[in-house]
Amino acid sequence: MCATTYRERADAGMATLQTFYNPATGLWKTTGWWNAANVLETTIDYCTFTDSLTYRTNIFNTFEKNKRNRFLNEFYDDQGWWALTWIKAFDLTGEVRYLEAARVIFTDMTKGWDNTCGGGIWWNKEHKYKNAISNELFLSIAARLFLRTRDQRYLDWAQRTWTWFSKTGMINARHLINDGLNAQCQNNGQPTWTYNQGVILGGLIDLYQCTNNRALLKTAEAIADAAIQNLAPNGVLKEPCEPNCGLDGPQFKGIFIRNLSDLYRTIHKLTYRDFILRNADSIWAEARNPRNQFGLCWAQKFDQADAARQSAAMDALNASIVASRTPIVLQAETATLHDLVLEAVYAGYEAGGYVAGWNRDGQWVDFNFTLPSAGRFDLIFRYAAAAGNAARFIFVNGRAIVNTQLFPGTGDWAVWSTVTLPNVALQTGNNTVSLIFNQSKGSRNWLNLDQLIIL
């Protein structure tokens, strides 16, 4: 296939991934149980980034074919993968049963926590190993459930897990995460698998979104930078087990890229964008066969095909869809203001001024723009909120998106920050994003608005 854009490459890779799907079982041929959760998450990400309906039936079918045991087994990490996947299924479809499935899984995972090594959950229900991946998953699930339910118990678990994890020594002196703890509750020195560097990024981003503690993002950045420096010869990820990674290892690199993409979309560090595109390009140029199947080693010739290899590579191609977009930057002075004014008093704004004097009903901002094609995009708002946390009602193309979008306080009017609203469906042609002060929706406090960036 002559695919010239990152979207076209992802389309081709996704079509090949679907050839492994077995509708009778709701699983993917050639892979195991935990892999299947990741393959479905990859599929959901593709549907989210492209707004495609083509593969969404996989979500319903996989759930129906496998719900009998509530996605529970003897391994807490296996369960964790399914919980994350069902949360994403809920985000995409709005179907509450997927969120409830994740809650059931998480409740079962809490039974794995005890005071051995000071806390943390076990890898399995025989209590034989406390490792990184199970606890990273536990952290991320807890934080994501809090963000969707506002049940304080989930936030308590997330904070408790990170407090414990950060003190275990599993994060080594190079800012890389080893596999787990030994019998003496010390870092066991086992390989720094790429997925252990990835899942923690997602967990820290999720916890940051719960708490607005930017130190968590700094920790995530340090881990991501260390992984790129130490686990990617010539800028392309390489798993420690390559070229012989069994059934599990081929999945790992995709999980890292998937979570690195989330970090890029949160802090917009161009190093991460370039790394994502470098890996996507290498997969397409070096590790692909004529059938658009992808191999294990992303900088080497294709070896063999299976759903784990294919979905891991697809994680990179999915990430490249967003990373390759040219941001649309809309300055405040181009917006339509309703009972508001532009101001240019405090330093740090990007162009001709910012929206100011904004703290009562009847005031709102409309950003109007056009897109060549529909899809899901991140909306990134650049703002200052010196008076403390502010909130606004967000309306897109005639429908409410967020009733109470938080803009954490910045401490000074000359200190600017960003808030990202991810995966918002936008349409071909004309679009309007409105930020509205509506006290009945929870809007509060003063807010200066500098830019809207569509990515």
Give tens-digit pLDDT for 143-192: 999 999 999 999 999 999 999 999 999 999 999 999 999 999 999 999 99
Q: Are residues 318 and 370 located together in one domain of the fold?
A: no
Q: Are residues 11 and 58 located together in one domain of the fold?
A: yes
8 A C-beta contact, residue 310 and residue 20 = yes
Give the integer Cα–Cα distance in Å for 94 and 64.
16
pLDDT given for residue 330 in this prediction: 98
pLDDT given for residue 373 in this prediction: 86
> Of the candidates 308, 323, 338, which is a domain's last residue?
323
* Residue 393: CATH number of its domain: 2.60.120.260
Q: Is 61 exposed, middle or buried (0-12, 13-18, 19+ CB in 10 A)?
A: middle
CB atoms within 10 A of CB 56: 16
Q: Is 168 helix (H, G, I), strand (E, B) or coil?
A: coil
Q: Give how many domains the chain has, as a whole number.
A: 2
Total residues belonging to the chain: 455
CA distances 206 to 80, 438, 443, Å, are 15, 27, 23
> Of the candidates 323, 358, 382, which is a domain's last residue?
323
Q: Are residues 315 and 340 located together in one domain of the fold?
A: no
Q: Is 74 inside any structural domain?
A: yes
8 A C-beta contact, residue 49 and residue 327 = no
> CA angle 190-102-418, nearest 5°?
80
- Could you give the angle at which helices 57-66 and 76-93 cross, rounded to 10 degrees? 140
Q: Are residues 422 and 450 located together in one domain of the fold?
A: yes
Q: Is 426 inside any structural domain?
A: yes
Domain that holds residue 136: 6-323
Give the integer Cα–Cα distance in Å for 332 and 135.
43
pLDDT tens column, 26-56: 999 999 999 999 999 999 999 999 989 999 9
8 A C-beta contact, residue 87 and residue 148 = yes
* Residue 33: CATH number of its domain: 1.50.10.20
Q: Is the pTM of this model over 0.85?
A: yes
8 A C-beta contact, residue 142 and residue 157 = yes
Structure tokens at 389: 């946390």
**66 Cβ contact list (under 8 Å, min separation 6):** 25, 26, 27
Q: Is 146 inside any structural domain?
A: yes
Helices (H) and strands (E) in the chain, counts: 12, 13
Q: Is 428 inside any structural domain?
A: yes
Q: Are residues 378 and 305 located together in one domain of the fold?
A: no
Residue 405 parent element (H or E): strand 399-407
Q: Is 31 inside any structural domain?
A: yes
Q: Is 1 inside any structural domain?
A: no
Structure tokens at 449: 């608005």
Kindly report the backbone phi and psi dihedral angles of residue 27, in degrees, each rounded to the nearest multiple of 5, phi listed first. -125, -175
Give the integer Cα–Cα distance in Å for 212 and 206.
10
CA distances 204 to 11, 44, 219, 267, 370, Å, are 30, 21, 8, 12, 34
Q: Are residues 292 and 420 located together in one domain of the fold?
A: no
For 123-200, where are the E strands, in sequence order?
Answer: none
Q: Are residues 58 and 200 located together in one domain of the fold?
A: yes
pLDDT given for residue 2 in this prediction: 60
8 A C-beta contact, residue 170 and residue 118 = no
CB hemisphere CA count around 76 (13 angstroms)? 29
Partner residues linked to 383 by β-bridges: 417, 449
pLDDT given for residue 212 in this prediction: 86
Exposure string of 62-77, with b = 16+ CB inside 10 Å and e = fewer, is bbeebeeeebeeebbb
Q: Are residues 229 and 341 located together in one domain of the fold?
A: no
Extract the residue ranges of the chain whose pLDDT is less than 50: none
> Of the candidates 296, 323, 350, which is a domain's last residue?
323
Q: Are residues 195 and 230 located together in one domain of the fold?
A: yes
Q: Are residues 73 and 192 located together in one domain of the fold?
A: yes
8 A C-beta contact, residue 297 and residue 237 = no
Structure tokens at 276: 């994502």
Q: Is 360 helix (H, G, I), strand (E, B) or coil?
A: coil
Q: Is 409 inside any structural domain?
A: yes
Q: What is the DSSP letter of 325?
A: P
Q: Is 47 inside any structural domain?
A: yes
Q: Are residues 318 and 332 located together in one domain of the fold?
A: no
8 A C-beta contact, residue 380 and residue 419 = yes
Q: Are residues 316 and 332 located together in one domain of the fold?
A: no
8 A C-beta contact, residue 61 and residue 338 = no
